[in-house]
Amino acid sequence: MTNKGTSFYERLEARGVSRRDFLKFCGATATMLGLSSSAAPMIGAKIAGAADEGGLYPALWLHGGACTGCTESIAQATYPNVADIVLDFLNLVGQETIQMSAGVQTLEGNEEFAEEHAGKYILIIEGTVITGLDGNMLRVGGHPFIEELENFASKAAVVIALGSCAVDGGWVVAYPNPAKGTGVGPYLKSKGVATPVVNLPGCPMNPEELVSVVVEALLLADRDSDGVPVLGPIVNRLDANGRPKWLYGSTIHDNCPRRGHFENGEFVYEFGSDEEAMGYCLYPVGCKGPQTYRRCPMIRWNSSVSWCVDSGGPCIGCANWNWVDQNAPFRGRFRRVGAGVLGSGGVDPAIAAAAIGGIAGAALIAHGFGMKAAKRIGSNATLKTEECKEWETKHAKKGGAA
Amino acid sequence: MAENIVLDPVTRIEGHLRVEAVVENGKITDAWATGTLYRGVETILKGRKPEDAFYVTQRICGVCPTSHGHASSMAVESAYGIKIPNGARLVRNIYESAENLHSHILWFYILAALDYVNPAKALSADIGDTVDLAKAAGTGISDFAAVQERVGDLVKGGDLSVFSNGWWGLNPITDAEKIDAELYNPDMPAELHLIGVAHYLEALEMQAEAARVMAILGGKFPHGMTSVAGGTAFVPDSLKLDDILYRLKRVVAWINNTMIPDVLAIAPFYTAALEFGGGCGKFLSFGLFNDTDLDMHNRFFPAGYIDVANGLKVDPVDTDKIKEDVKHAWYTSPSGLHPQHGQTQAISRWDDSTFDLDGQYTWGKAPRYDDKPAEVGPLSRMLVGYLSPGADPAIKGTIDYALDALGITDPTLLVSLLGRVAARVLEAKVMGDQVINYVVELVEAINSGDAQTFQEYVDHDGEGAGFWEAPRGALAHFVNVENGRIANYNVVTPSTWDMSPRDDNGVRGPMEEALVGTPIADVERPIMAARIARSFDP
What local confidence, expressed as pLDDT, does residue A215 receive?
72
Smallest Cα distance from A380 to chain B, Å: 34
Is the pTM higher than 0.95? no
Q: Which residues of A touch B350 (CB under 8 A)?
A: 133-134, 136
Other beta carbons within 10 Å of A274 = 9
Nearest to A308 among B167, B225, B350 (CB): B225
What local confidence, expressed as pLDDT, does residue A351 receive?
37
Burial class (CB in 10 A: 0-12, 13-18, 19+), B471: buried
Please give the C-alpha separations between residue A114 and each of A148, A284, B170, B285, in angstroms, as whole numbers. Answer: 11, 50, 20, 45
What are the residues whose beta carbons fall under 8 Å from the beta carbon of A25, sequence distance 6 or more?
Answer: A78, A79, A82, A83, A86
Beta carbons of A68 and B61 less than 8 Å apart: yes
Q: Which residues of B touch A102 (CB under 8 A)?
A: 7, 9-12, 530
Whole-complex ipTM: 0.97
- Long-range contacts at B353-358 (CB < 8 A, ≥ 24 apart): B354/A136, B354/B330, B355/B34, B357/B20, B357/B32
Does residue A92 belong to the interface with chain B, where contact is any CB pair within 8 Å?
yes
The string of DSSP letters for A257-295 reads TTHHHHHHT-B--STTSHHHHTT-B-GGGT--GGG-B--
What local confidence, expressed as pLDDT, does residue A146 receive?
98
What local confidence, expressed as pLDDT, does residue A395 receive?
55
Measured in residues, chain B has a length of 538
| Alpha carbon distance A27, B84 (integer Å) | 44
Q: Which residues of B touch A179 (CB under 8 A)?
A: 38-40
Q: Which of A247, A278, A250 is nearest to A264 (CA)?
A: A278
Smallest Cα distance from B57 to chain A, Å: 10
Q: Are B316 and B384 in contact (CB under 8 A)?
A: no
Q: Are A64 and A126 in contact (CB under 8 A)?
A: yes
Closest chain B residue by Cα to residue A94: B162
What local confidence, expressed as pLDDT, does residue A379 receive?
33
Beta carbons of A1 and B157 less than 8 Å apart: yes
| Alpha carbon distance A9, B483 (integer Å) | 63
Beta carbons of A301 and B219 less than 8 Å apart: yes
Phi and psi of B532, rounded to 5°?
-60, -50
Name the stretches of chain B with pLDDT < 70: none
**pLDDT (tens digit, 0 to 9) for every residue of chain A, 402 residues total?**
334 445 666 666 665 667 677 677 666 666 655 555 566 666 666 666 555 555 567 889 999 999 999 999 988 875 534 435 444 567 777 888 888 899 999 999 999 999 998 988 889 999 999 999 999 999 999 999 999 999 999 999 889 999 999 999 999 999 999 999 999 999 999 999 999 999 999 999 998 888 788 777 666 666 667 666 666 567 778 999 999 988 999 999 999 999 999 999 999 999 999 999 999 999 999 999 999 999 999 999 998 999 999 999 999 999 999 999 999 999 987 543 333 332 223 333 333 333 334 444 443 444 444 334 333 323 333 334 455 556 556 555 444 333
Closest chain A residue by Cα to residue B49: A329
Other beta carbons within 10 Å of A391 = 17
Domains and CATH numbers, chain B: 3-57+272-535 (1.10.645.10)
Smallest Cα distance from A316 to chain B, Å: 8
Closest chain A residue by Cα to residue B60: A67
Q: How many helices (H) and strands (E) does chain A have?
A: 20, 9
Q: How many CB pairs under 8 A join A and B?
A: 323
What local confidence, expressed as pLDDT, does residue B79 receive?
97
**Which DSSP category does A141 fall into?**
T
What local confidence, expressed as pLDDT, does residue A261 receive?
96
Beta carbons of B162 and A109 less than 8 Å apart: no
Phi and psi of B536, rounded to 5°?
-85, -10
Does residue A96 belong to the interface with chain B, where contact is any CB pair within 8 Å?
yes
Q: Which residues of A touch B114 (CB under 8 A)?
A: 100
Nearest to A311 among B152, B207, B225 (CB): B225
Beta carbons of B456 and A270 less than 8 Å apart: yes
Chain A contact probe: residue of B12, B20, B39 with most A CBs at under 10 A: B39
Q: Which amino acid is residue A401, in one-letter code?
A: A
| Alpha carbon distance B473, B412 (integer Å) | 20
Beta carbons of B222 and A69 less than 8 Å apart: yes
Q: Which residues of B268-301 are buried (b: 16+ CB within 10 A; e: fewer)?
A: ebbeebbebbbbbbbbbbbbbbbeeeeebbebbb
Domains and CATH numbers, chain A: 8-247 (3.40.50.700), 252-399 (4.10.480.10)
| Alpha carbon distance A89, B144 (integer Å) | 22
Beta carbons of A130 and B38 less than 8 Å apart: yes
Q: Which of A116, A106, A92 is nearest to B165 (CA)?
A: A106
Smallest Cα distance from B206 to chain A, Å: 10
Beta carbons of A142 and B16 less than 8 Å apart: no
Q: Which helix (H) or strand (E) holds B28?
A: strand B27-35
